[in-house]
A and B are shown apart, each in its own frame.
Chain A
């Protein structure tokens, strides 16, 4: 079983719709959870960063972590064409001294005007 599972999609939605992305993981030691956004022909950039379980909201973006189910989600409200990108989840244990992140494979999202 892969450490982090992420359905690669692609996911096409009409403008204004809610986008729902998720990742599952197997390592119960993961404590830090991140979502990166990667535009075509660019490097990933950090979008959301959460610690342990719970929700975090930033504008139109909400990140949820359910550690009991080993499941994280990213929601994008009122999606815009500019949200078209690949979204990668990433996670790390609490005391992982060499700074390694476990990445999902990425989920391509297309928002249709």
Chain B
């Protein structure tokens, strides 16, 4: 069965901390994505990557960076966490083109 695994289900951090969210997929997909999901705002794309070491900004990249050193792993980095980054973070992957996104179960991040 296909799988996108996010390293943490719940995470609590302090403002100013550097936060790493990890995502691993076992489907050999080229594309990987980071979204955040907030009530009333829906899913918003933060960053995506279409190949190893390649990345592109999504709609809300400010305050975030990403790393993709291996095809199966895509990391989201909050350089200095702030309270407005409290959210559900969802990682997804897909093959090239318009194939369906496979999502992980999400990481609920609380920044205090």
Contact = CB atoms under 8 A, between A and B. Distances in A.
A92 interface: yes
Interface string B25-52: 0000001010000001111010010100
Nearest to A94: B98
A22 to B, nearest CB: 16
Given A43-B4, A43-B90, A43-B92, A101 B42 contact: no
B101 interface: yes
A34 interface: yes
A7 to B, nearest CB: 12
Nearest to B43: A103
A46 B98 contact: no
B17 interface: no
Contacts of A49: 100
Contacts of A8: 40
A105 B41 CA distance: 6
Interface string B69-112: 00000000000000000000010101011101111111000000
A98 to B, nearest CB: 6
A42 B106 CA distance: 7
A105 B42 contact: yes
B48 to A, nearest CB: 7
Interface of A: 8, 32, 34, 36, 41-46, 49, 88, 92, 98-101, 103-106
Interface of B: 4, 31, 33, 40-43, 45, 48, 50, 56, 58, 90, 92, 94, 96-98, 100-106
